[in-house]
């Protein structure tokens, strides 16, 4: 006898069987059969990403906050651009800081429980369990960016954030750099809060001696408006909340909502925050279609994103 509920066939929970030599795709597919809490969500999210990548005429958007670029998961994001999976990125200013700093210097492994006062005495900032020495961050950015700005703005005084970032990427030569790969593969990076970080601070410092300098934020918004409006389908991989998440769903509401969306978050929804809002909440705003393929996956994106992408790459 087949078990049913509400005239639908019930699917039995199956145990996960770990085998020597199994692939990430094998494991993620098995998670989808286990009915095991967030494991099920992660497996469903991988299925949605696979469909989104295979869908023709689909504008694929990636958004994330800066912190993830200070970790090894930066390499996963860079590979997504290199392999043609992403059409546009919306992120925060710190993404530029960390990508450039790690292009010219190194970050180091630390611990969440280190003595922060001692770290400051030694000129080291702590980002979770990642250590960022002062001479690998602000100093190296100032030394390298200000001369670049002289060259970038020699024939103009007004550029959008995606144009400035592209011009910086054009002056790099590092296969591991997000800015370099985005320039190489024509993937625009939009940073709505461009002054909220060291890269933006360097622009402000440059402005002190170049008072005609203007950042054309409207050109960024115009590009996003045209890209989403012209797309037959849109899909998004959204990591974390804040301005980068909202910019993705905001522009998609004008076309009736996203067709595909997965959201990787550690925030909770009880306080009404955007970061904690499940992707289904965006349906009520018209930012995600009611019939969209969508899933929120709770958990650390430095774990979940590599697992999802490893599984999807096997399938593609």
Give the model confidence (pLDDT) of 278-315 as tens digits. 999 999 999 999 999 999 999 999 999 999 999 999 99
User: What per-residue confidence (pLDDT) applies to 1?
Assistant: 61
Q: What is the pTM of this model?
A: 0.96
Integer angstrom CA distances of residue 310 from 180, 239, 303, 306:
23, 17, 11, 6
Choice among 41, 245, 287, 289 that is catalytic: 287
249, 282 Cβ separation under 8 angstroms:
yes
Structural domain boundaries in the chain: 44-315
Question: What burial letters (b/e) apply to 220-230, b meaning 16+ CB within 10 Å?
Answer: bbebbeebbee
What is the rounded CA–CA span in Å between residue 109 and residue 126?
10
- Token pair 């800066």 is found at 66
For residue 287, indicate whether it is catalytic: yes
Quick one: how far is CA 308 from the chain centroid?
A: 14
The CATH homologous superfamily of the domain defined by 44-315: Deoxyhypusine synthase (3.40.910.10)
Q: For residue range 125-171, list pLDDT tens digits in order.
A: 999 999 999 999 988 999 999 999 999 999 999 999 999 999 999 99
The residues that bridge with 90 in the sheet, in sequence order, are: 63, 190
pLDDT (tens digit per residue) in 137-148: 988 999 999 999
What residues pair up with 261 in beta bridges, in sequence order? 236, 294
Contacts of 140 (CB under 8 A, 6+ apart): 100, 101, 104, 105
């Amino acid at each position: 006898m087949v078990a049913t509920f509400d005239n639908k066939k019930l699917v039995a929970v199956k145990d996960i069987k770990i085998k020597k030599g199994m692939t990430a795709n094998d494991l993620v597919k098995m998670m989808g059969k286990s009915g095991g809490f967030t494991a099920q969500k992660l497996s469903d999210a991988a299925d949605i990403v696979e469909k989104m990548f295979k869908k023709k005429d689909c504008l694929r958007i990636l958004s994330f906050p800066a912190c993830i670029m200070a970790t090894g998961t930066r390499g996963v994001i860079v590979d997504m651009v290199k392999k043609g999976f992403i059409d546009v990125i919306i992120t925060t200013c710190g993404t530029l800081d960390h990508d450039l700093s790690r292009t010219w210097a190194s970050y180091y492994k630390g611990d969440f429980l280190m003595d922060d006062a001692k770290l400051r005495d030694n000129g080291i900032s702590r980002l979770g369990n990642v250590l960022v020495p002062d001479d690998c961050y602000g100093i190296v950015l100032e030394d390298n960016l200000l001369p670049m700005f002289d060259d970038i703005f020699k024939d103009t005084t007004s550029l959008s954030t995606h144009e400035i970032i592209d011009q910086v990427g054009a002056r790099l030569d590092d296969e591991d750099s997000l800015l370099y790969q985005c320039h190489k593969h024509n993937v625009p990076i939009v940073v709505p809060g461009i002054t909220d970080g060291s890269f933006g601070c360097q622009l402000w410092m440059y402005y002190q001696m170049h008072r005609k300098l203007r950042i054309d934020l409207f050109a960024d918004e115009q590009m996003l408006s045209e890209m989403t409006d012209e797309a037959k389908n849109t899909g998004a991989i959204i990591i974390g909340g804040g301005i980068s998440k909202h910019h993705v769903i905001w522009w998609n509401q004008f076309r009736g909502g996203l067709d595909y969306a997965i959201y990787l978050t550690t925030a909770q929804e009880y306080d009404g925050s955007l970061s904690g809002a499940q992707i289904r909440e965006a349906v009520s705003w018209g930012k995600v279609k009611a019939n969209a393929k969508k899933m929120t996956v709770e958990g650390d994106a430095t774990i979940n994103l590599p697992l999802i992408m490893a599984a999807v790459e096997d399938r593609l």
